[in-house]
Amino acid sequence: MILVTGATGSIGTHLVRLLLDQGAPVRALVRDATKGRALGCDIVVGDFDEPASLAAAMDGVEHLFLNAGGAQPVEGEQPMIRQQKAAIDAARAAGVSRVVKVSVWGARRGGRLAEGAHWEIEEHLKASGLGWSMLRPSGFMQNFITGAAAFTADGRLMDAYGGAGVSYIDCHDIAACAAALLTGSRGLGEAYVLTGPQALTAAEITRELSAALGRAVGHVEVSPDDLAAALRSQGLPARFADDVAELSRNVAAGSLAATTTAVRDLTGRAPRTFAQFLAANAEALRGGLLSPARS
Ligand SMILES: NC(=O)c1ccc[n+]([C@@H]2O[C@H](COP(=O)([O-])OP(=O)(O)OC[C@H]3O[C@@H](n4cnc5c(N)ncnc54)[C@H](OP(=O)(O)O)[C@@H]3O)[C@@H](O)[C@H]2O)c1
């Protein structure tokens, strides 16, 4: 049995579908049974913050896909550290043999926000004695339809990366890599940096968004310091704003610009381009989930 956590999220929904298509035995951990039933697989209702529910969910599980929400700190703490460590401990107690974990490209000791949080979880997993594989993705293409990417009130994409490129990846490809690892035996003890096929600048992203939407979507450059000031003025903690600014400076220096062959190596096919991603998500674009459509 494969247990998929984060099953209702950007990666998890694709992963459940891919595993079902392969005829793999799959169970989804979900917080909301109604949302979970729409996945079309076995579900168990649980929460990373309720250890007893994790223990029940792991019963009879061989392989675990470990993923949850992002790294918004709560009172200076990253909840995902506590949550994912608890899931790893429950997996060990239940006799799970292998964990495939979604991490982040750049995970390292002392890294800002998700980079430091994922590093701490990775270390916990490595020390657990469980078999492990780490998926370290670049930025998600999904950010442009989920609202995670920032747009101005008049619908222009805000670029705090100084025109630098990012090798954005479609979560569908992350899920395909996870499926390959969860249903096979390779990749034990390996960490994979997952990227899309090319680095795209904000100008290139907005050109493709404009073509897909049939109307002009512009972009505007903001400095990391101005971005931090805007976040502070929205009431976000100063430390968080500073961390976001520092990550933006790193991206502007090219930290997410390289591409790797990991998606092709694991799945046997090329990662999706941004244009392919937009075509596959035309309904979400038409439905106005993209922030500029609301302007
Ligand atoms: N966005 C990026 O560009 C990017 C890049 C690299 C790495 N990452 C990493 O990717 C991961 C996924 O991020 P995301 O924001 O894209 O995820 P997401 O699609 O929002 O999915 C989050 C999933 O986790 C579930 N979840 C959240 N809290 C939970 C809890 N307490 N108990 C059980 N399930 C819970 C959610 O369930 P519900 O449906 O119930 O909410 C949902 O299924 C994060 O670790 C992030 O650091 C993101």
**CA 35 / ligand 1 centre spacing (Å):** 15
Confidence class for position 205, pLDDT limits 50, 70, 90: very high
Return the best residue to mutate from 3, 5, 8, 136 for the ligand 1 pocket (most ligand atoms within 8 A of CB).
8
**CA 52 / ligand 1 centre spacing (Å):** 21
Tokens of 219: 């972009």
9/80 Cα distance (integer angstroms): 15
DSSP state of 128: T
97 Cβ contact partners less than 8 Å away, ≥ 6 residues apart? 62, 63, 130, 131
Model pLDDT for residues 48-98, shown as the tens digit of each residue: 999 999 999 999 999 999 999 865 677 678 899 999 999 999 999 999 999
Q: What are phi and psi of 279, to 5 degrees?
A: -65, -40
In the chain the domains, ranked by start, together with CATH numbers, are 2-137 (3.40.50.720), 139-169+195-257+273-295 (3.90.25.10)
The mean pLDDT value of the chain amounts to 93
114/112 Cα distance (integer angstroms): 6
Element (H, E) at 41: none
Question: Ligand 1 — pocket residues by CB below 6 A?
Answer: 6-10, 12, 31-32, 35, 47-49, 67-71, 83, 102, 104, 114, 137, 139-140, 143, 148
Return the best residue to mutate from 31, 58, 136 for the ligand 1 pocket (most ligand atoms within 8 A of CB).
31
147 Cβ contact partners less than 8 Å away, ≥ 6 residues apart? 289, 291
Q: Does residue 176 or residue 148 have the better pLDDT?
A: 176
Give the closest residue (by CA) to ligand 1 atom 25: 6
**Does pLDDT of 4 surpass 60?**
yes
- The sign of the CA dihedral 166, 171, 176, 182 is positive
Per-residue confidence (pLDDT) for residue 77, from 0 to 100 = 80
Model pLDDT for residues 23-34, shown as the tens digit of each residue: 999 999 999 999
